[in-house]
Amino acid sequence: MPRETADGSAVPVTPTGESRLALVRRARKMYRELAELYPDAHCELNFTTPLELLVATILSAQCTDKRVNQVTPALFARYPDAEAYASARREELEELIRSTGFFRSKAGNLIGLAQALCEKHGGEVPGNLSDLVKLPGVGRKTANVLLGNAFDVPGITVDTHFGRLVRRFGWTGEQDPVKVEHEIAALFPPRDWTMLSHRVVWHGRRVCHARRPACGACGLARWCPSFGEGPTDEATAVKLLRMRSFA
């Protein structure tokens, strides 16, 4: 329920109880700090074309980016375009992607996706959300990865790390990924959306871990309403940091 001011006007309630303006200001301060902490943040899936990124993103479900990057060089060499995936022998494709997990369903998705690209888009990956989400195995998360990183179209990618952190930051209280996407998009200008997604994910992988965040070594601590969920002692927290690349 919205609160009311002295004059009776409604004030939207934010997850932390702060005003909407205060939330926007705090969120943007945190993002500026993230930009300082991770100036080189980027998509950690290796790709050179929109199709390669689309394939890698599908393979990354329930799998690490590092593992996907180990698999994709041979995969991309064997299947250089949508036509090659569409006509792939399923057993061969499954074997190439086996180590990514759920390889049977992923192989089916890749073949169905490629067939749809050939039938409806001339074998090319479309560069808009409405067409992308109609493709087999492609949801809003995957579509936003493609738009932001292959087409330079601003998009917010709500994966497990992103959703966990923005709730921990008090930027949203939503659990549904689409609602999270819309609420976070309203806090930042579109030009920031893609890099915001990368930097939040990098922070989640390196500092703000799910079970034991390194609160005492976190550059966002002064603005974070969840400070104290992990060790606040700096010496203890530093030992939890994982600053290596995940590519």
Q: What is the CATH number of the domain that holds 97?
A: 1.10.340.30
What is the structure's pLDDT at 137?
87
What is the structure's pLDDT at 1?
42
Let me know whether 160 and 217 are in one domain.
yes
pLDDT by residue (tens digit) across 43-97? 999 999 999 999 999 999 999 999 999 999 999 999 999 999 999 999 999 999 9
In a domain, 247, yes or no: no
Q: What pairs with residue 55 in β-bridges? A: none
157 Cβ neighbours under 8 A, 6+ residues apart: 141, 144, 145, 148, 197, 201
Please give the Cα distance from 105 to 98 (Å, whole number).
11
Look at residue 3 and give its three-state secondary structure: strand
Q: Of 117, 160, 157, whose CA–CA distance to 140 is shortest? A: 157
Domain count, the chain: 2
Which CATH number fits the domain that encloses residue 7?
1.10.1670.10
Let me know whether 139 and 183 are in one domain.
no
In a domain, 243, yes or no: no
Per the residue annotation, which of 120, 159, 233, 239 is the catalytic one?
159
Quote the mean pLDDT of the chain: 93
Let me know whether 70 and 111 are in one domain.
yes
Let me know whether 31 and 100 are in one domain.
no
**Contact of 221 with 208, CB cutoff 8 Å:** no
Distances (CA, A) of 105 to 33, 144, 234: 40, 22, 44
pLDDT by residue (tens digit) across 152-173? 999 999 998 999 999 999 999 9
**Domain stop point among 150, 178, 206:** 150
Per the residue annotation, which of 120, 141, 152, 233 is the catalytic one?
141
In a domain, 202, yes or no: yes
Let me know whether 170 and 231 are in one domain.
yes
* In the chain, % of residues over pLDDT 70: 93
In a domain, 233, yes or no: yes
Full residue range of the structural domain in which residue 212 is found: 3-37+156-238
Query: Is the model more confident about 25 or about 62?
Result: 25
Confidence category of residue 247, pLDDT binned at 50, 70, 90: very low
**Domain stop point among 150, 185, 206:** 150
Has residue 243 got a pLDDT over 80? no
199 Cβ neighbours under 8 A, 6+ residues apart: 31, 34, 35, 37, 38, 41
Let me know whether 163 and 217 are in one domain.
yes
Please give the Cα distance from 143 to 139 (Å, whole number).
6
What is the structure's pLDDT at 242?
87
What is the structure's pLDDT at 5?
52
Let me know whether 166 and 135 are in one domain.
no
Please give the Cα distance from 196 to 27 (Å, whole number).
11
**Contact of 41 with 162, CB cutoff 8 Å:** no
Instruction: State the DSSP string of 6-73.
Output: TTS-EEPPPTTS--HHHHHHHHHHHHHHHHHH-TT----S--SSHHHHHHHHHHTTTS-HHHHHHHHH
Let me know whether 127 and 73 are in one domain.
yes
Active site residue 159: yes
In a domain, 43, yes or no: no
Let me know whether 62 and 32 are in one domain.
no
Let me know whether 93 and 130 are in one domain.
yes
Let me know whether 65 and 124 are in one domain.
yes
First to last CA, the chain: 44
What is the sign, positive or negative, of the torsion defined by CA atoms of 156, 159, 161, 166? positive
**Domain stop point among 99, 131, 150:** 150
Let me know whether 108 and 171 are in one domain.
no
pLDDT by residue (tens digit) across 195-232? 999 999 999 999 999 999 999 999 999 999 999 999 99
Active site residue 81: no
